[in-house]
Amino acid sequence: MRFINPKTDYAFKKIFGSADSKDILISFLNALIYNGNSTIEDLEIINPNLPPKVEGLKDTYLDVKAQLKNGTLVIIEMQVLNVQSFGKRVLFNAAKTYAFQLQKGEGYRMLKPVIALTLTDFEMFPGRHPFTSRFVYREVSDGYVYTENDIELIFVELPKFTKEIEELETITDKWIYFIKSARSLDEVPTNMDNIPELHRAFEIANQANLTREELEDLERREMFIYDQQGAVALGREEGREEGRQEGRQEGRQEGKKEEQRAIAKKLLTLLDDEAIAATTGLSREAVRELREKESENL
């Protein structure tokens, strides 16, 4: 057997966000949010897109969104590419989900908690050893938890999870291993096949159950991800070197700007303006001007 890559947006949504995925998603969330305890008994998978309710506010596109039986909203995102300001995007999505629950005339008491679960295929917090991190509002000096602690951010950094198949002990271990390594497996591991929800996840991920068109689309998505990762890595490496050279002559601040512009130049033929802006920290206007300038020089 060969399995599709759960880290691609299409596969992740197909496995966890389809109408038939409720039991799978419940098991997955209990594992990653509640340490394998059967805290979530029921949920509703809902439209993950958050169109703006305020004119001019950005659209939000999540991978999976669900509402638990107690009203708690869980938004889930699988992020492969490490782009600049990604952490801010996570916070923006969580805050937007929290704020836009209320309809006109409803009081704040109607607000339900929001949990933002983010899985990253890169190190979100370099230097921090645990692969799972949880953030809530606390008082700075003594750690006292804010009474209305309704927004929780949970991060799972896949590169920090290093257990091999034979070392998997908990259901949390097994779900994370599935996300990280299913693409490289050719059969369902025996120590994972006894969990019905994981077995069904492998069934959905089995390429034999997909049409040729679906497989071709998945391959294009994977290639696009690999190209983006390579382009960003190369662009950053070459751009930093050019930026350092410029920085020696023009000072640290201007050197940083030159580094950003140099990285952006390397990415012009590979990414669109919005992706370049997110990667480099430049504004979209600056990227657009740079693209126009480079076009004139051709």
Q: Which residues pair with 79 in a beta bridge?
A: 120
Residue 156 parent element (H or E)? strand 151-157
Per-residue pLDDT tens for 11-57? 898 899 988 899 999 999 999 999 999 999 999 998 766 545 444 44
In the numeric block, which tokens belong to residue 40? 């979530």
CA distance 24 to 152: 22
151-157: strand order across its sheet? 43-46, 64-68, 73-79, 114-120, 151-157, 132-135
In the numeric block, which tokens belong to residue 65? 């969104």
CA distance 153 to 87: 10
Residue 275 — φ and ψ, nearest 5°? -65, -40
Contact 124, 157 (CB under 8 A): yes
The SS3 call for residue 196 is helix
Residues 6+ apart with CB under 8 A from 91: 116, 153
Statement: residue 245 has pLDDT above 70: no
Q: Which residues pair with 117 in a beta bridge?
A: 76, 154
Name the most confidently modeled range: 1-10, 168-177, 185-194, 245-254.
168-177
pLDDT at 285: 87
Per-residue pLDDT tens for 204-234? 988 767 777 777 776 776 666 665 666 566 5
Let me know how long the chain is. Answer: 298
In the numeric block, which tokens belong to residue 1? 């057997």
Residue 116 — φ and ψ, nearest 5°? -105, 110
Per-residue pLDDT tens for 118-169? 999 999 999 899 999 999 999 999 999 998 899 999 999 999 999 999 999 9
pLDDT at 179: 96
Contact 191, 199 (CB under 8 A): no
CA distance 216 to 39: 38
CA distance 182 to 134: 25
Place of tokens 């983010």: 118
CA-to-CA separations, 140 to 88, 94, 130, 144, 147, in angstroms, rounded: 20, 21, 22, 8, 14
Domain layout of the chain by residue ranges: 9-210, 213-297
Please give the single-letter amino acid code of residue 179: I
Diameter over CA atoms, the chain: 63
pLDDT category at 98 given cuts 50, 70, 90 is very high
Sign of CA dihedral 173, 178, 180, 181: positive
Q: pTM of the predicted model, to two decimals?
A: 0.74
In the numeric block, which tokens belong to residue 178? 């599935």
